[in-house]
Structure 1
Amino acid sequence: MYNTVKTLKIIAQNGKFFRGKIKEDKNGENFVIQLRDIVKNERGDYLDLKNLLRTNISTKGHIEYLKAGDVLITVKGAKKYAFHLEKVPSKTVVSQHFLILRSPDPKIILPEFIEYAVNSSRCQNWFARKCPGSYQSTLSRETLERLPLPVLPPEEQQKIVNLIRETRAEKKLLLDLIDNREQQLKALANKLINTDY
């Protein structure tokens, strides 16, 4: 059974719009998540929150800061990457290059399950059909609200989330072992092979 983001009452929001380059202030009170904070490598795709740009946002209106449990989705490109925020610094916003999904009740609709569903091939194929443009197709908030999502009981969502966590942990372990072997090989080769040529 499927419902849409909107009918599931999952809140969809736009990122914070910045006109031009964001002015950095190393002592600023606000943090900004940008596309440059996405890391893509053999260990997977993830957000690196260790070196976020700091700034001061001056606005008369209300600022909606990110919360732990929010799911960020890239709006441009062939793939719309989803990232679950396990934790986030206080007074952090995300740039307009992302959309935000927020579960109405994280115990009923698990944020990590939302991340999984959005990244699934089924949802990615749906984006490919519904988003205008080709390589640089753009995802709007209105389109995201129409995204069909599977409806599962929380315990079944949790089973999927647990398996995702186990898979990531196994992948990390295997890649760490490979890295260690490569370091051992390098050290042995340097010891045994005469490099004076």
Structure 2
Amino acid sequence: MANDAFSISATLSGISEIRAGHPFRGSVPEVVNGSVSVIQIKDVDWAGSVKWEGLTKTRLEGRKEPDWIKSGDILFVARGTKIVAAYVDEVPVPCVCSQYFYLLRIKSERVLPEFVAWQINQHPAQTYLVKSAEGSAQVSVRRSMLEDLSIVIPPINQQRIIVELAKTASREREIFEALIINREQELRVIAKKLLEPTVAER
């Protein structure tokens, strides 16, 4: 680690345990009454949020205890069209992540996992990961590249401030997006009332 008066710089592997997702063989087998939910790439959006309501249910085989997703974990999408980290705040159901994720667990109490997830999703880290990734349209990030990612760690109070700012920005984005959707729906209703009679007369 290198440090100055304000921050510490470390590799991602230096501050976290990095594990592979659950080793499913191919696609996740769906079991309607399965006791385990699986987080797949489709369940994480571009903002790094997990869409819990759409998880596939399955049944896990084998005697080895799986790496259950826990509160405070970071899920890193390692393959596909989006390279994004998702911070897990609460886990509403017993679940694992698929083989296309890396599961990150922060080892130090001086590092907030939500801050690390935020930093991974910012331009400097994204630039490094995209350049290091294999493939073009469907990229793949090797574990060694993720391990070597440089993370800047400011004092924990500053981490908290940044996390709160990011949460505020996310809430504001959701509000604006909802307003846009509502306005578009209003315009569709107006267009239907105004234009459909005209079209029918032709």
TM-score (norm 1): 0.86
Task: Deviation per CA, 1:65-111: give whole Å up to 9, x if none.
Answer: 01012111111246421111122234311111111111224x52112
SS of the equivalent of 1:7 reads helix
Map of 1:98 onto structure 2? 101
> Is the CA contact (8 Å cut-off) linking 1:38 and 1:46 kept in structure 2?
yes
Partners of 1:78 and 1:27 in 2: CA distance:
31
Structure 1 unpaired stretches of 5+: none
2:43 corresponding residue in structure 1: 37
Which residue, out of 15, 28, 33, partners 1:27?
Answer: 33
Equivalence for 2:179: 177
With over 3 angstroms needed to count, the CA separation of the structure-2 counterparts of 1:185 and 1:77, relative to structure 1, is closer
Q: How many residues align?
A: 192
> Match of 1:51?
54
- Tell me: CA distance 1:23–1:185, structure 2 relative to 1, closer, same or farther (3 Å): closer
Q: Write out aligned runs for 1:1-197 (5 A).
A: 1-8=8-15, 10-39=16-45, 44=47, 46-77=49-80, 79-105=82-108, 107-193=109-195, 195=197, 196-197=200-201
- Percent of matched pairs sharing the same residue: 30
CA–CA distance in structure 2, aligned partners of residues 160 and 12 of structure 1: 24
SS at match of 2:18: strand
Q: TM-score by structure 2 length?
A: 0.84
CA RMSD of aligned residues (A): 2.2
In the TM superposition, residue 21 of structure 1 has moved relative to its aligned partner by 3.0
Structure 2 unaligned blocks of 5 or more: 1-7
8 Å contact from structure 1 (residues 103, 109) kept in 2: yes
Once the two structures are superposed, residues 124-146 of structure 1 have per-residue CA deviations (whole angstroms, 9 ceiling, x without a partner) of 12113333444444223332221
**1:50 is paired with a residue of what secondary structure?**
helix
Name the SS for the 2:174 alignment partner. helix
